[in-house]
Structure 1
Amino acid sequence: MVTVKQLEQELLREKQSLQESTTYRQQTAELALQVLKTVQNTKPFLSRESAEKFVSRALPSADRDQQLDVAKMLHVLWTQKKNEQNYSGEFQRQLAERKKSRGPISFVLTK
């Protein structure tokens, strides 16, 4: 079972990795954290549709596109965490090793 705390930790990691990305994407992560503070469990994020409904109620002042992006972010993170819980120990170690050797991700401007 995926917990609110797990999603919050994942969003905080996501926020750290987005420091070099667009302001919009950073705002989306911040809004997603705000939404997580209003829930007791992760049930609203089981499907994209229920996430959209919940986020639209939790963030009524945000524009519709931003609400949809926040809902998508929360649903995708929930799905990733759920899938990770089903990985074998060996596979989890391999993923952790790949992440370590990958290093930080940054954007490079090209012409």
Structure 2
Amino acid sequence: MMAHLGTKKAGAARVAGGGFGNRKNKQVQGNGMTGWWWGLWIASNVAGNVALRVVMHAEEIDGYMWANIATQISDWIGIPSSIATLLVVQRIYAMQMASLRRNAEAVDLS
């Protein structure tokens, strides 16, 4: 598969040093989901804060109706925010597992 890359000691040094090349300063490009998660998380928190303030100032049935609407909006924004969170966590997990496999291959080849 790959050419012999040196001794086990050299392979372990490559793994401990971050692998092949200088990857410490490498910027990883995302797929945009992190931006969606961040935006939805902020929107959900702002909507929740607005809903709380509307509830705290409600004194009559009309105020409580507006508070109910504000709370529902906050809850509905929270659903896609939760889905985006799940997708971001799955992507991070996949990247971590890919990195683990690459590092394991580097040590095995040494």
TM-score (norm 2): 0.30
TM-score (norm 1): 0.30
Give the structure with higher Rg (CA).
Answer: 2
